[in-house]
Chain A
Amino acid sequence: MSAEERPDKLVLNHVSFAYGRGRETVPVLDGIDLAIREGEFLSVVGPSGCGKSTLLSLLAGLTRPTGGTILLDGREVTGPGVERGIVFQHYSLFPWMTARANIIFGLKQVRSRMSAGEMKALADRHLELVGLGGLGGKFPSQLSGGMQQRVAIARAYAMAPDVLLMDEPFSAVDTKNRVALQELLLRLWDAGETRKTVVFITHDIDEAILLADRVVVMSASNGSILNEFHIPFERPRRRTAVIRGETYVRMRNAVVDLFHEDEEKVMNG
């Protein structure tokens, strides 16, 4: 099934969000229209403060929009749900639980009937999958930032959601580990029988292009979408081959130019 034939998984109809009430409102998102297809990998890029994290929070159901509607499989999103797995930049994991216990805690929310032994086995299998076999007994404070994010991804995958929402998951990780995490994510996403729908928030243009099928660029100023780019690279993608190609450089420049234009508009009022 080609991308165009797949149904919409997540639909945002004129979604707005503002802080405060009455006259003193601060608009964050203003009339966002966006449809994300089933099995699509969508990246959202934008400078800090553009509302991209708010967008993810709305999709997660942690925040309610002040205007418009969000539909998941045609039904309105009114709160969080286990069919949407989330990986945050910080504190995805509970610091008082070991890596394994964190995954099991997630599993308990979706598969209450699974036995403790099965959950443990499933947790360990997913730790293995993200390259952390044998580290299940470690607390997050005993793991590096990159390892913590691996556990968070392992938990999200173990819970088997349809949708994966990621809010700058690799931003606090050093460059070398970030590359490894990006490849891990691509590998996991490619490996499944049915690909998950992913919404990936980042401020890193390279990361956005490298991972996604489509990149949505947000404005720095008015909480709206500036433009979007379809990323044509074949999958499975090989990072080294992709970033050396002419197409990649052209796409990257297009996004950067868009950023600059937007910034100038903001500066000139």
Chain B
Amino acid sequence: MVKRFLSPANLIFLLLIATVLYVPARRIEGAGTHVLRLALTMEAFYVLVLVAVKDRRRVQTAGDVTAILYAALFAWDIATTRLNLLNPMLFPTPKAVMTLMGLDLGELSKGLVSSVRLLLAGYLAAVATAVPLALVIGWRGRLYRAVTPVTRVLGPIPPIVYIPYAIAILPTFTMSSMFIIFIGAFWPIFINTLNGVFTVDRRIVDSARALNVGEGTMLFKVILPAALPSVIAGANIGLVLSFILLTAAEMIGATSGLGWYVKYFSDFADYGRVIVGIIFIGFVVTAITFCVDRLEKWLLRWRG
């Protein structure tokens, strides 16, 4: 148990604490207990893992991840607050960023709500149209052969090029960004589902036919679950593209949202807030990915 505490993470933790306490700040706006408190909070979680988690492998991984985070924080604090090696305008201190994060949490939450609304509307519309369409088309040989060459041409167009045109033809920014997210998510979901349907094991189809199932049952109770791994692979790519397109669209034409937040403050050279926005987006994307991952595991729990 004691040996567990002798990890690289704890070594860097001590180093970090020592610098914060004993190396004087050259940039006075970076002085204070923010970094110390953040490090202590992280350490509290890490100690909890060290004490409570049994699996040695997982403890090790948690330790290594913590070590990387400490190292990044350490390098950042040393380069800015302690030694002032970097341009103060472009590279704010950890304390400054943390303070701004606290101040702007309300603004960021509002941006989050606005962004998530756009994302969900565009993305869910893409799932709701791409999956049934691909199911029907993939199931009908003739339609599949007709549609495949078309998707080969339209699919690979980088959806980002639609942004200016979408903004021009659609009346509001909300509509154009939903449309762009929709297009971006649609193709990967559609193409993957199509391939999934087309490559469903013949024997599964025969089993269903032997049970004399109707057309609707065949499509939604047999083909869809059989193709689900492909559908989910497509949905993942679609989600990643949606994030990219959402922020890109917000940076171009929005008056709210997380992408807008970053772009707006970079126009004022407020790089502290730019970093706040980037870190916040990182947290949001991680949280969404985590939930999606869980959902996927549950949906595919039948696979051995």
Number of residue pairs across A and B with beta carbons under 8 Å? Answer: 57
Q: Quick one: which of A60, A105, A139, A142 contacts B210, CB cutoff 8 A?
A: A60
- What's the Cα separation between A90 and B226 when bound, in Å? 15
Chain B residues with CB under 8 Å of A96's CB are 225-226, 228, 302
> Are A86 and B302 in contact, CB atoms less than 8 angstroms apart?
no
Closest chain A CB from B56 CB (angstroms): 28
CA distance A94 to B208 in the complex (A): 9
Among A80, A92, A94, point to the contact of B209 (Cβ < 8 A). Answer: A80
> What's the interface size class on A, roughly?
20 to 34
Select which of A79, A91, A97 is within 8 A of B203 by beta carbon. Answer: A91
In whole angstroms, what is the CA distance A27 to B101 when docked?
75
Contact B304 A142 (CB under 8 A): yes
Pair A80/B228 contact, Cβ less than 8 Å: no
Question: In the bound complex, what is the Cα–Cα distance between A82 and B210 (angstroms)?
Answer: 8
B207: contacting residue among A57, A79, A94, A139, CB under 8 A:
A94
Are A62 and B225 in contact, with the CB atoms below 8 A? no
CA distance A95 to B210 in the complex (A): 16
Given A88-B206, A90-B203: A109 in contact with B212 (beta carbons within 8 A): yes
| Pairwise interchain contact B212-A88, C-beta atoms closer than 8 A | no
A108-152 vs B, Cβ < 8 Å mask (1 yes, 0 no):
010000000000000000000000000000011110000000000
Q: Distance (Å) between the CB of B296 and the closest chain A CB?
A: 14
Q: Contacts of B58 on A, CB cut-off 8 Å?
A: none
For residue A86, which residues in chain B have a CB less than 8 angstroms away from its CB?
A: 207, 210
Q: Is the CB of B209 within 8 A of A141?
A: no
Residues of B within 8 A of A81 (CB): 212
A39 and B225 alpha carbons, distance in the complex (Å): 37
18 new A-B pairs (CB below 8 Å) besides A92-B207, A109-B212, A139-B304? A57-B206, A60-B210, A62-B209, A84-B210, A88-B206, A88-B210, A91-B203, A91-B206, A94-B204, A94-B222, A95-B302, A95-B303, A96-B225, A96-B302, A109-B211, A139-B301, A139-B302, A159-B211
A-B contact pairs, 15 of them (CB 8 A): A80-B211, A86-B210, A88-B207, A88-B210, A93-B207, A94-B207, A94-B225, A94-B226, A96-B225, A96-B226, A109-B211, A109-B217, A141-B302, A141-B303, A141-B304
